[in-house]
Amino acid sequence: MSFRKDFVWGAATASYQIEGAWNEDGKGLNIWDEFCSQQGKIENKATGNVACDHYHRFKDDVKLMAEIGLKSYRFSISWARLLPDGTGKINQKGIDFYNNLIDELLKYNITPFVTIYHWDLPYALHLQGGWLNPKSADWFAEYTEVIAKNFGDRVKNFITFNEPSVFMGCGYWMGSHAPGYRLGDRELLQIGHNIHMAQGKAVSVLRKEVPDAKVGITLATQPKIPINGATEQDAYNSYFSVGLGGYFWSVNYWLDPIVFGEYPKELLEQAGEMFPKYTKEDMKIINQKIDFMGLNIYEAQYEGNYERPQGTAHTELSWDVYPDALKWGVILNYKRYKLPIYITENGLSTHDWVSLDGKVHDPNRIDFLHRYIKGLKEGAEAGADVRGYFQWSLMDNFEWAKGYNPRFGMIYVNYQTQERILKDSAYWYKDLINTNGENL
């Protein structure tokens, strides 16, 4: 059995991780430009200043997408490339770049999926408090309107935020990502509420400006896999339990207010007076209908009496391998939210290099993808409404605080010469797309 006939097979990237051209053609600074300039923040003193130079090489990159046979490409837009100060004056050269990219994709019949925010807040807005400032919701709505008005005639699929849990958790709690803060719950809860308000206002803008738009949000998650007698309900109850400790990592901290119009009661009770004040009108703004949910899944957790043995399979980033992660991710989330699901990221970081034959052989990635996507198929067969899968990543790129050592791509990038080489996994993925997953 194959996936549904209109299944979307794609790959994903993010603006800061591939574009480069950090200060060209009127682009403003963002928080990652600033963070990477600080001593000791990024491994090997790496920056995204050049990255994969996609800004100058996008036509060749789109041609490679077509060679792989991608049906869709998920990419993010650099806020500071469109609005150098975050609000106000629009940078026409930034608009031109994304217009050219979108037109190039459509030339090859590759459907664009636009992520509006993938972590690169304009530095000018950071100086005004960034996501701590309640005005951030209106800043984001203005930015979304610029995107909708300039690209909405050709782009119909929008993802508002990529992994708010991660840019909150790593950027504002752990301090390992930009802007490098280590805040307490009172401030983090305010940031979370501001992001929720930004989400609702952005969806309203998209509905107004692009009436036929399909809008969703992408969340990072580690699903619970029932094992050793634990039931699906046990996994469900544990997975969707959210209290004050680490609430921002939870799917339902983000999706319950969007889908059901209310924050999780358990969290409200535990947070007490620390939770930001909000009104019924605020919740109406947040509770805007979305068309799908995106899930970024790499790891999982076991529900049941189980201890991971020493020597368990793990990736170059030391993330453990869970072949049933996608299966349970879609089963549990569809059970709760009844929304169509896209896997908006899934992939493997490995130590890839060019072999003596001039090719890049990555059998571990092929095996990893085979196992995970087979599990995704089982989740779809169990009744989850799974609409598409985007591999992370199209090409090797700047992996945030880890710099350029982890390689996630189907396309190998030589960062000194900017040469691209299709890895074995790219050809495997091409065959998977051609057969619509029938041979998994």
Phi/psi of residue 10, nearest 5 degrees: -145, -170
Pairing of strands 420-422, 411-413: antiparallel
User: What distance, in Å, lies between the first and last C-alpha atoms of the chain?
Assistant: 9
Per the annotation, the verdict on 24 as an active-site residue is: no
d(CA 164, CA 152): 24
Catalytic-role residue among 104, 163, 303, 399: 163
Angle in degrees, CA 91, 95, 96, rounded to 5: 115
Residue 81's Cβ-side half-sphere holds a number of Cα atoms within 13 Å equal to 24
| Residue 219 bridge partners (DSSP) | 295
- CA nearest to 127, candidates 81, 175, 80: 80
Contact criterion met (CB below 8 Å) for 135 and 128 = yes
Per the annotation, the verdict on 266 as an active-site residue is: no
- CA nearest to 429, candidates 67, 57, 33, 17: 67
Return all residues near 270 (Cβ < 8 A) that are at least 6 apart. 243, 244
Residue pointed to by tokens 């947040």: 286
Catalytic-role residue among 104, 303, 345, 399: 345
Three-state SS for 434? helix
d(CA 165, CA 16): 18
Residue pointed to by tokens 């909708």: 148
- CA nearest to 368, candidates 435, 295, 297, 301: 297
Contact criterion met (CB below 8 Å) for 400 and 47 = no
- Catalytic positions are 163, 345
